[in-house]
Amino acid sequence: MEQMERLILAVAPGQLTAAGRWGLPLAHLAYRAGSGPHLFRANAPVSPRGGLMVIDDARLTGGGEAEGFCNEVLRECAARRFTGVVCRFRTRPTALMEEITGKLGELCRGRGLSCYVTEPYGLSAPQARVIIPTAVSGGSLRGRLEEAVGRFGAGRLALWVDRVAEDFLLPSPNGAGAPLTAEELQKRREEFGSSVFFSDELCAHYFTYMAGERGHFVLFDDAGSIQKKLRVARSLGVDTAFFPHEEMADLLEALVERPMEGA
């Protein structure tokens, strides 16, 4: 397949050795924005070094000032020799977080560092690249990406490739499915023996089954469907993708080049 120019593994602190054997850039899932706001790093036997810093905002509460937080981020980048910052903010945007992402985009660019933000912050951080998740349960992935290209430009976009495995009730009351573990997905396939189909629009596999009087629609990814997502993105000029290592570990051999010899 046509390869992405840049594949990045998003890795938790305890997975550094396993992720490092692939020889890909790493994005460290080891930081969060906490009250203050201040930057906090996860405790781990091995401290992250090199690659990208990923910051989560799940525990951020209250107000504060953006400048002090941005300075903490830049100091940590210098100390750990990070090449950039990923603001993976997923709570409802606030004025403070918009100010933080905007300032970080400017400061990182001025220091030759990369900066990525989630889609809701794409307008408040015009100097940063914008992360688009690949998981869609309606419409089409191509349409989703074309809309993002129209808003931000292909050169600013990067994918976050989530491995989908969800069970939707039919009709789905809110468009959300119940997440499935790999074991639960396999059990449903074996129990119901349903034929598996591929959706070109969603770039994912699916099957249906009946449980009592309720119909179910199961959507899931494998290496082939993820390759299709990457091809669609690449055809639109998107050249960077993040792979969550924990979700994708068993698929990496099919998705990237062979791991480093002797690793």
* Averaged pLDDT for residues 58-66: 81
pLDDT digits (tens, 9 = 90+) for 153-206: 999 999 999 999 999 988 877 778 899 998 999 999 989 888 999 999 999 999
Res. 139 pLDDT band, cuts 50 70 90: confident
Q: Is the pLDDT of residue 17 over 70?
A: yes
DSSP assignments along 163-210, one per residue: --EEEEEES-SSS--EE--HHHHHHHHHHH-PPPEEETTTTEEEEEEE
pLDDT digits (tens, 9 = 90+) for 70-122: 999 999 999 999 999 999 999 889 999 999 999 999 999 999 999 999 999 99
Residue identified by tokens 């976050």 is 160
Per residue, the 3-state secondary structure of 92-115, as one string, reads CCCHHHHHHHHHHHHHHHHCCCEE
User: Among 25-34, 127-136, 171-180, 181-190, where is mean pLDDT lowest?
Assistant: 171-180
Which residues touch 28 (CB under 8 Å, ≥6 apart)?
A: 11, 13, 48, 51, 52, 53, 54, 82
Could you tell me what percent of the chain has a pLDDT over 70?
A: 95
Mean pLDDT of the chain, nearest integer: 91
Helix axes 66-80, 95-110, angle to 10 degrees: 40
What does each C-alpha distance from 185 to 137, 219, 252 come to in angstroms?
17, 10, 19
Q: Is the pLDDT of residue 237 over 70?
A: yes
Res. 258 pLDDT band, cuts 50 70 90: low
| pLDDT for residue 263 | 36
Res. 259 pLDDT band, cuts 50 70 90: low
Between residues 194 and 30, the one the model is more confident about: 30
| pLDDT for residue 47 | 82
Cβ neighbourhood burial of 195 (10 Å; 0-12, 13-18, 19+): exposed
| pLDDT for residue 8 | 97
| Domains of the chain by start residue, with CATH | 6-163+222-255 (3.20.20.80), 164-220 (3.10.50.10)
